[in-house]
Amino acid sequence: MKKKIWLGILLVAVISVTLVSYTRDQKNFEIAKNLDIYHTLFRELNMFYVDEIDPNKLVKTSIDDMLQSLDPYTNYISEDQIEDFRFMTTGEYAGIGALISKHDDDIIIAEPYEGFPAQKSGLKAGDILLEVEGKDTREMTTEDVSNLLKGPANKPVSIKAQRPGNKKPFTVDVVREKISIDAVPYYGMLDKQTAYIRLSQFTANCSQEVKNAFLDLKKNNPDALVLDLRGNPGGLLMEAVEIVNFFVPKGEEVVSTRGKVKQWDKVYYATSEPIDTTIKIAVLVNRGSASASEIVTGAIQDLDRGIVVGSRTFGKGLVQTTRDLSYSTKLKVTTAKYYIPSGRCIQALDYSHRNEDGSVGNVPDSLISEFTTKHGRKVYDGGGIVPDMKIDSDELSTLAIELVTQFKVFDFATLYSNKNTSIPQPEDFSINDDIYNQFKEFVKASEFKYDSESLDEFNALMETAQKEKYYKIAEDEFRALKAKLEPNLDKDLAGFRDEISELLEDEIVSRYYYQKGAIRAAIKDDKGIQKAIDALHSETAFAAYFKPGTVINMN
């Protein structure tokens, strides 16, 4: 009997191995077959297509479309994209230190970085780049001009530019430098008790920047910290682990990764002694906080180390690994998912099960699971990190959006800064009646036009009502409502003054005090920061967030 059982087990094992081997061989055959089809198709296309084709462009297009069918984060990095990829991961490149943008038909300086070659050479935001190294930029893309501006460090690049309001062009030789963008653009004290650190990206060594900032702030003996991760798209995993380690005991689990290749699965722990395990922490997040930002936020929340303030985060819980390909190219491929200490995954969209039209959906409610934090609070997966204290995002009006996208705010700030040599400190500067009236006249003189989405919806409703013969029944009401929805520049500039003034203030301050100044100016009116401060300094409220089942509602 025992012999028969062992023979049965052996037979099952042999069949299993055979099936696995067959499946693997079949898959390898399918891969080889399709690669051969692709090769022959490309050869025939190259030989017989009516026009000349660009092999590099055609292949890259096919690769990009193939990878896009998987998820947005699996990408092919060609030779000419390697420098941009390196900048994304290190925050370093050799150039003039300025953002450039396309404005109508011109390439302009959108923002010079403080202390870098462009700013030190006298270039300002709004300056039009006419020529770079003697080459006319009028027919170039921003990518073309950017490539000309980048180059070997300590080598000059000749730039011919024109300043708005001054018809005479000027030429300047800007000596390129190795540009390293600060991951912490600003830190300081919000009040006598509350420290503040703004982290904009998770590039190499950003954890050291956070550490240096926090140690400097500790000299003020704060009892609370606001860590601002709003708009931070993420970056390097290990930098996120290091930052969490500053505030949690050695040995705590921070995040784990799990994927198809099991030997790559890994759990990341806090491996060093922390800096401070008692200071009260509030992490500020929004829809733009993703990936590594969500690891820091989720770990702080799951370990009951601090509170999360803002709106639900982006929900990117996919891990990418970079693999070297031939001819100095690379493949950035999704290999695993992130899981934060409670065990939940932060990935929001399901790319593995696409709809028939190719679209993807959010994780359905039926698949959302309940987890618990270290102290027993209930938390859920299903995408992103849900804040402990929710703040509704302020949506900009259509008018404000159009004023930004049509460069009206930008152009006014350019003219204002060219006419005024200085302004008060960022915390003291505000858009008064005189400045706002100047802006209104500037907008009117520019023949600015904008549409109302509400009016578009209303016109569609009115057209439907006419077809269904309901329009005449409520014709007076329709006319009255249309008059209220009709865009009226004077009325809308008055009605949306507060939000437009904030945009103007940010743009003008950045011309004099650059990025740090713009952050300093914004802090005083920042609702998220004020909510965080209120919670941090309310002993009962802050403590209650960590008690299972307690619901806090702070207005």
How many CA atoms are closer than 13 Å to the CA of 310, on its beta-carbon side? 25
Catalytic one among 291, 293, 342, 417? Answer: 291
State yes or no: is 302 an active-site residue.
Answer: yes
Q: Are 264 and 257 in contact (CB under 8 A)?
A: yes
> Which stretch of DSSP H or E encloses residue 84?
helix 82-90
- Amino acid of residue 141: T
Residue that has been written with the tokens 């009646």 in this structure = 433
- Which residues have C-beta within 8 Å of that of residue 304, sequence separation ≥ 6? 373, 374, 375, 377, 546
Catalytic one among 124, 160, 280, 316? Answer: 316
- Which residues have C-beta within 8 Å of that of residue 408, sequence separation ≥ 6? 402, 442, 443, 446, 448
Residue that has been written with the tokens 């963008």 in this structure = 181
How many other CB atoms are there within 10 angstroms of residue 491's CB atom? Answer: 12
Distance of CA 101 to the CA centre of its chain: 18
How many other CB atoms are there within 10 angstroms of residue 543's CB atom? Answer: 11
- Which residues have C-beta within 8 Å of that of residue 237, sequence separation ≥ 6? 255, 257, 268, 292, 295, 319
Residues 331 and 321: their CA atoms lie apart, in Å, by: 8
The strand pairing partners of 93, in sequence order, are: 179
Burial 367-402 (b: 16+ CB within 10 A, else e): eeeeeebeeebebebbbbbebbbebeeeebebbbeb
State yes or no: is 316 an active-site residue.
Answer: yes
Catalytic one among 71, 302, 411, 492? Answer: 302
Active centre residues (catalytic): 291, 302, 316
